[in-house]
Amino acid sequence: MNARMIVSALLAAALSARAAGDERPAEPERPRGAIRLFNGKDLSGLTTWLKDTGHADPRGVFRVTADGLLHISGDGFGYVATDRAYRDYRVVLEYRWGDRTDGGTSVRNSGLLLNAVGPDGGAGGMWMSSVECQLAQGCVGDLIPIRGKRADGSAVPVGLTADVVLGPDGHPRWKDGGVPRTFTDGQLWWSRHDPDYKELLDTRGRDDVESPRGEWTRVECTSSGGRITVRVNGHLVNECRDVAPAAGKILVQTEGFELFVRTFEVHPIPR
């Protein structure tokens, strides 16, 4: 077989594998320096997903404003995602709420999804399998396993372990030195989650560290070696270990509420 025939055979095999859905995802990337996931100009390096329209965004749910912000209108359920998977990183998200709500009385809601794997919409048609850092009012920094399925229908293992203490409301909150508990569903509440919080639109918990509505909130999540830590406006609010998946894409949800993002970037973990 000559060189031309070999090249043709390899190309044919690659196309056949692609058609059969056998492409292997790229290995997660460890950032070597700061990477602006959102560049303030366009959606380069990002992909979008909506439950009702897939990768198409006919309503312009995700767009860039004239002053360089990522505008998420909240019209529908889905996300904007990095086109690459990452490992051993610190992601920084700075956001503030807009005016649009879902028309109900519950808190404004969105999430930062970490280590997302599997097909788009693999979890309920809306998300990817991942660990969510909650952004809902009063709950910023809660951690939630989101379990979905692979393309072949098999379940993607998602879970985490944390030291917890039960509050007077019976919900588990992260507490260093608490009782170890493994989560494969449910919600790990941040350390000072107000037990009397009613989760009503634009209300605040007694010890909330997120910024008041209209101001920017900074969330930093470090994912490294199967551990996740969450800081909100500089305050350590949650921590877990034995995280699965331990690497993947990073997503910002649209979940019925308008959101503006000015910073979305990853940084390396110092060695």
pLDDT in tens, 39-66: 999 999 999 999 999 999 999 999 999 9
Q: Between vectors from CA 126 to CA 253 and to CA 41, what angle results, nearest 5°?
A: 40
Write down the pLDDT at residue 271. Answer: 74
- Decide if pLDDT at 117 tops 70: yes
**What band does 11 get if pLDDT is binned at 50, 70 and 90?**
very low
Q: Tell me, what's the pLDDT at 211?
A: 98
> 202's torsion region: left (phi>0), alpha (psi -120 to 50) or beta?
left
**pLDDT: is 9 or 215 the higher one?**
215
* pLDDT of the residue at 10: 35
Phi and psi of 250, rounded to 5°? -125, 130
Tokens read off for 154: 């098999």
pLDDT at 26: 79
User: Is residue 213 a contact partner of residue 95, using CB atoms and an 8 Å limit?
Assistant: no
- The model's pLDDT over 196-226, given as tens digits with 9 standing for 90+, comes to 999 999 999 999 999 999 999 999 999 999 9
Determine the Cα–Cα distance for residues 154 and 144; give it in Å rounded to an integer: 20
Q: Judge whether residue 154 has pLDDT over 50.
A: yes
Environment class of 189 (CB within 10 Å of its CB; exposed 0-12, middle 13-18, buried 19+): buried
| Separation between Cα atoms, residue 93 and residue 252, nearest integer Å | 9
Distance, in Å, from the CA atom of 251 to the CA atom of 40, rounded to the nearest integer, reads: 17
The CA radius of gyration of the chain, in Å to the nearest whole number, is 20
What pLDDT is recorded for position 193?
Answer: 96
pLDDT for res 12: 41
Query: Would you state the pLDDT for residue 121?
Result: 98
In this predicted structure, the answer to whether residue 1 has a pLDDT above a threshold of 50 is: no
CA dist 158 and 58 (Å) reads 32
CA distance 25 to 52: 25
pLDDT digits (tens, 9 = 90+) for 157-202: 999 999 999 999 999 999 999 999 999 999 999 999 999 999 999 9
Whole-angstrom distance, CA of residue 183 vs CA of residue 26: 28
Q: Is the pLDDT of residue 79 over 90?
A: yes
Q: What is the mean pLDDT of residues 130-150?
A: 98
Mean pLDDT, residues 112-138: 98
